[in-house]
Amino acid sequence: MAGASEADAQLVEPNTTETDAVAGVAVGLSAVLFALAVAAMFERVSLTGSLFGVQTVTLLGGLLTALGVAVIAFGAGSRLGYVKTTPDPSAGLIAGIGAAVPWVVVGGAVASQTLGLGTTVGAVAGIATGGVAFALTVLPREDLGSTLPLGSLLALTGLVFLTGVIGPTWVWELGWAQQAAITAEFLIPVATLFTTLYGGWASAKAYGGFGARGRHMGAYVLVYLNALSIVAFLFILVAFVVVQGIPGLLNGAEIGLGTGPQTTILGISVTLPVSVPFVMNGVALFNDFQGVLPAIVGTVWLVAGAVALAVPLGVGAAVFLTEYADRGRFTQVVEVATNGLWSTPSIVFGLFGFAFLIPRFGNGKSLLSGMITLGFMLLPLVVITSREAMLSVPDEYRDASAALGVSKWQTIRSVVLPAALPGVVTGVILGVGRIAGETAPILLTMAGGTFVPGSQTVDVIGGFQFTASPPFVANPALLEATSALPYQLYALISAGVGASSNVGNADEFRWATALVLLIVVLSFYAIGIATRYYFRRRLTHT
Amino acid sequence: MSENTTQQTQTASTDDRSPTDDRSPTDDRSPTTTAGETVEQTREEWTEYEFRGETKMAVEDLDVHYGDDHALKGVSMEIPEKSVTALIGPSGCGKSTYLRCLNRMNDRVSSARIDGSVTLDGEEIYQDGVNLVELRKRVGMVFQSPNPFPKSIRENIAYGPKKHGDLDTGLLARLLNRSDADERDELVERCLRDAALWDEVSDRLDDNALGLSGGQQQRLCIARCLSVDPEVILMDEPASALDPIATAKIEDLIDDLSEHYTVVIVTHNMQQAARISDQTAVFLTGGELVEYGDTDQVFEDPHSERVEDYITGKFG
Ligand SMILES: Nc1ncnc2c1ncn2[C@@H]1O[C@H](COP(=O)(O)OP(=O)(O)O)[C@@H](O)[C@H]1O
Ligand SMILES: [Mg+2]
């Protein structure tokens, strides 16, 4: 095969050429646009304002148009032979459907709304436009098919923004009874986001020179943008709460020797060098700054109590089910029951606590009732994940241990449980994430008031008392009603404006509470992940 | 296979067969099973093996059923002390099952039913009141694929003695100044030396055992098995997952071990069996022990035609 055709792909791709660079810039441009659109969606970038001295909408429109033109230019250049690529005969059905969907929307919307031709004509026009886009994608060679329809879509959207047909103040009244409307604030970011995804896809294909390599690049960029947007959403959510919550949290905060409250650590009285009243005070009439300390302490004890109850019970049950019980009807029933319990709505658990636990613990809401209720909620997940973790411990370990004459229980304790621990901890992490934020069960079983005075901060450790008669220990602190952060947040919001004078700026107070809740839950996560890391390391590094 | 070659091998085998071996007269072309095995009647004397020295374990009329599956049929054999006994045979013929009966690991399989008698130094191990911990301490086992615990090399070896209470290195013992840490380290070193692993791991006893190579892991498992001071070591294809160099090391090791221990090894590698064992037992399809005797005799002059076919690679 000496005279291999020139269209054959080369084994070693030549170094980056100018055309590659153009396609690369197009991919980068779509990433920037994507980020801008996400930011605009969450109002981190104002649509009415301007960026780099240009109106935001104009900037978005300009970039979109540029991207569209670049994509089309690349496709056309490749088709006319100016750019060396290795396209397939057709872009394929999936690309065709992908290109048809946005064009159906555009065609339908323009015909029915902009031209005012009515729904039926709109539908017909939409399908017709989509059909044309489909045909233009599937029929020509891949380089043209995967760039022309998508590039035009980008350019059209960009021009609509540029020319101000859809400006920052644009509204589309849907005319429904609910007075729904699509505003520019929503439409512009969403439209940018979607068209940018298409633009990134098309330009990535172009960057890869179409063909198998191009498709690989296209998929790669799509997957990457997707993953990025998940991270971005999470980041923005957290950033949103942090930005809103910081002022309230730092209200009256001071750093410096002797500024903080006095505490006793290991019998030595120390004055903390920082003072953050919001997390160190309760609510009281004469406080300079109000805070949520009782709720923080309540949440921490609540979670600690629930974990202390659920983990031994759950791991014990899992040990029994995996190591001792014969696999059969009984284990299946238990499996179904645990799965069912895990999907039981939390309010049902709350009602159980309300009707069953409260009458037994002094007829009042109490921390103990809350702990037990949440412990029961956590239990099924601990059972499920521990069981899973123990089942995945290889039988070879058990055989090896048995062959050394080691008893079953000792084998479980020294080999099976250590190997299963990382999995167990994973389950507990997931479960704690759920129960730490639960509101409904707490509302019914343990919550006190909306604004909790600092004097109601539970002191579980200091609350233990020894008594002369059985059971010899008593802990009144466990039997008091106390608050927890999610409940407090709910109470603050539902208390409305009237009560807000208590705490100064009520809005700040709420956001700060939300931020503290987030921090507390994330700290539990961090502890869990560190624990898991520790146990996992012990298994593989010792 | 062509008719021609079959004929030839048979003629050849008839020639070097001892005259006392009388086979059925119409033996020109024995009927064969679907697996290619010749049908023949097993004779009791083929499994009678006379040896000098003490009998370590004796198995009498051992039958094993897994549910309805009759996996071992009336096996009887005596295993001499301080020697290497190889068990060979095609896969699925019950070698592992037989081996697991010798330390009652089959008790762990719920569907298994075992009838017959197995004695260790003359004491029946299938009777009420047998202490499984003691039995398995005296009859250790090494498995097909290396299975060290996900712990450090040191802990892997100290595991058994610790659990049996022979070593105490716990927190309490350390606090009370009664820790056996020195004893433990001696034990670890001795076992690793006996398993020919010491030189390779002496400077990283605290590393995780899973970081060792396959061959090292298997020798660690042998060392772990030695740690509880067994008398008999059962090995189920211990080298089948290893490369030739690691295999050679294990083989040398087995040779050394047979000076002090009674080794019973399952292998599907016939050269290996011929190299390392003193006596060989051949199991064939259906869970029968067909021939048992001195390794040289079994490989060079087998009584059974099926064993000969198996050894020469006609099936298996
Ligand atoms: N745990 C078990 N449960 C049911 N049947 C088994 C089990 N172990 C082995 N068997 C059956 O017993 C027979 C012998 O198996 P095995 O002793 O593993 O043979 P080998 O080790 O010679 O390959 C096979 O038919 C196998 O299917
Ligand atoms: Mg086997």
Q: What single string gives the DSSP state of each residue in A458-498?
A: --TTTT-EE-SSTT-EE-GGGGS----HHHHHHHHHHHTTG
pLDDT number for residue B96: 93
Q: Is the peptide bond before A471 cis (omega within 30 degrees of 0)?
A: yes
Give the tokens for residue A118: 């009515």
Q: What is the pLDDT of residues B146-170, one digit of tens each?
A: 999 999 999 999 999 998 888 777 7
- Which of A6-10, A74-78, B114-118, B181-185 shows the highest mean pLDDT? B114-118
Atom index in ligand 1 nearest the CA of residue B100 equals 17
The answer to whether residues A135 and A91 touch, using CB atoms and an 8 Å cutoff, is no
B103, B104, B105, B106: CA torsion to nearest 10: 140
Counting every residue written for chain A, the total comes to 542
Q: Considering only A83-87, A440-444, B22-26, B116-120, which range has the smallest mean pLDDT?
A: B22-26
Q: Which of A407, A418, A541 sits opposite B133 (nearest CB)?
A: A407
Interface test with B, best of A406, A407, A408 (most B CBs within 10 A): A406
Which residues in chain A are closer than 8 Å to B135, comparing Cβ atoms? 405
Q: Considering only A381-395, B171-185, B241-255, which range has the smallest mean pLDDT?
A: B171-185
Residue bearing the bigger pLDDT, A456 or B32: A456
Phi, then psi, of B128 in degrees rounded to 5: -65, 145
Cα-based angle A345, A346, A352 (whole degrees, multiple of 5): 105
Taking the centre of ligand 1 as the mean of its atom positions, its distance from the CA of residue A396, in whole angstroms, is 16
| E strand intervals along B37-187 | 55-66, 69-80, 84-88, 112-120, 123-124, 139-142
pLDDT number for residue A13: 56
The answer to whether residues A123 and A110 touch, using CB atoms and an 8 Å cutoff, is no
pLDDT number for residue B34: 54
Atom index in ligand 1 nearest the CA of residue B90 equals 22
Write out residues 169-228 of B within 8 Å (CB-CB) of A.
Answer: 206-208, 210, 221, 224-225, 227-228
Q: Considering only A315-319, B28-32, B60-64, which range has the smallest mean pLDDT?
A: B28-32
Q: For residue B22, give every residue at least 6 positions away whose Cβ sits within 8 Å of its Cβ, in sequence order, or none.
A: none
This complex has an ipTM of 0.82
Judge residue B29's burial from the number of C-beta atoms within 10 Å of its C-beta, 0-12 exposed, 13-18 middle, 19 or more buried.
Answer: exposed
pLDDT number for residue A472: 65
Mutate to test the pocket of ligand 1, among B68, B69, B145, B270 (most ligand atoms within 8 A of CB): B69
Q: β-pairing, A465-466 with B112-120?
A: unpaired
Q: For residue A530, give every residue at least 6 positions away whose Cβ sits within 8 Å of its Cβ, in sequence order, or none.
A: none
CATH class of B48-311: alpha beta
Taking the centre of ligand 1 as the mean of its atom positions, its distance from the CA of residue A391, in whole angstroms, is 22
Rounded to whole angstroms, the Cα distance separating A390 from A322 reads 7
Q: How far does CA A524 lie from the centroid of its chain?
A: 16
Across the interface, whether the CB atoms of A400 and B147 are under 8 A apart is answered yes
Interface test with A, best of B151, B167, B187 (most A CBs within 10 A): B151
Which H or E element spans position A43? none
Atom index in ligand 1 nearest the CA of residue B94 equals 17
Which H or E element spans position A126? helix A119-138
Nearest CA, atom 27, ligand 1: B92
Interface test with B, best of A326, A411, A542 (most B CBs within 10 A): A542
Q: What is the DSSP letter of B210?
A: G
Ligand nearest to the CA of B237: 2
Q: How confident is chain A (542 residues) per 10-residue block, as mean pLDDT?
A: 47 62 82 84 76 84 91 88 82 89 90 82 91 92 89 92 81 73 84 89 86 86 85 86 88 70 66 75 71 85 92 94 87 91 91 89 85 93 94 93 92 93 90 87 79 69 67 71 84 68 74 91 91 87 64
Judge residue A25's burial from the number of C-beta atoms within 10 Å of its C-beta, 0-12 exposed, 13-18 middle, 19 or more buried.
Answer: middle
Q: Which of B110, B137, B151 sits opposite A405 (nearest CB)?
A: B137
Taking the centre of ligand 1 as the mean of its atom positions, its distance from the CA of residue B92, in whole angstroms, is 6
Cα-based angle A261, A279, A436 (whole degrees, multiple of 5): 140
Q: How far does CA B114 lie from the centroid of its chain?
A: 19
Whether the CB of B66 sits within 6 Å of ligand 1: yes
The number of CA neighbours under 13 Å toward the Cβ of A296 is 21
The answer to whether residues B279 and B292 touch, using CB atoms and an 8 Å cutoff, is yes
- Taking residue A457's Cβ as centre, other Cβ atoms within 10 Å add up to 18
- Domain range summary for chain B, segments of one domain joined by +: 48-311
Rounded to whole angstroms, the Cα distance separating A62 from A66 reads 6
Helices (H), chain B: 3-15, 95-102, 132-138, 153-163, 171-175, 181-194, 198-201, 214-226, 244-257, 270-276, 295-300, 305-311
Measure Cα distances from B68 to B37, B63, B111 in Å. Answer: 24, 12, 9
Measure Cα distances from B306 to A359, B30, B41, B103 in Å. Answer: 80, 10, 10, 29
The number of CA neighbours under 13 Å toward the Cβ of A432 is 30
Mutate to test the pocket of ligand 1, among B62, B63, B64, B66 (most ligand atoms within 8 A of CB): B66
Q: What is the pLDDT of residues B125-143, one digit of tens each?
A: 999 889 999 999 999 999 9
Q: Which of A400, A415, A542 sits opposite B206 (nearest CB)?
A: A542
pLDDT number for residue A471: 66
Which residues in chain B are closer than 8 Å to A400, comparing Cβ atoms? 143, 147-149, 221, 224
Using alpha carbons, select from A332, A357, A339 the residue that is nearest to residue A444.
A357
User: In this complex, how many residue pairs, one in chain A and one in chain B, have their CB atoms less than 8 Å apart?
Assistant: 76
Q: Is the pLDDT at B33 greater than 70, yes or no?
A: no
Across the interface, whether the CB atoms of B208 and A541 are under 8 A apart is answered yes
Q: What letter represents residue A467's amino acid?
A: T
Ligand nearest to the CA of B100: 1
The residue of chain B with its CA nearest to that of A394 is B147
Ligand nearest to the CA of B283: 1
Tokens 């890391």, residue? A533
pLDDT number for residue A259: 66
Phi, then psi, of A168 in degrees rounded to 5: -60, -25
Q: Is the pLDDT at B84 greater than 90, yes or no?
A: yes
Q: Is B145 on the interface with A (CB under 8 A)?
A: yes
Measure Cα distances from A214 to A20, A91, A272, A380 in Å. Answer: 12, 11, 61, 48
> What does the pLDDT average to over B231-252?
90
Nearest-CA distance from B255 to chain A in Å?
Answer: 22
Q: Is the pLDDT at B256 greater than 60, yes or no?
A: yes
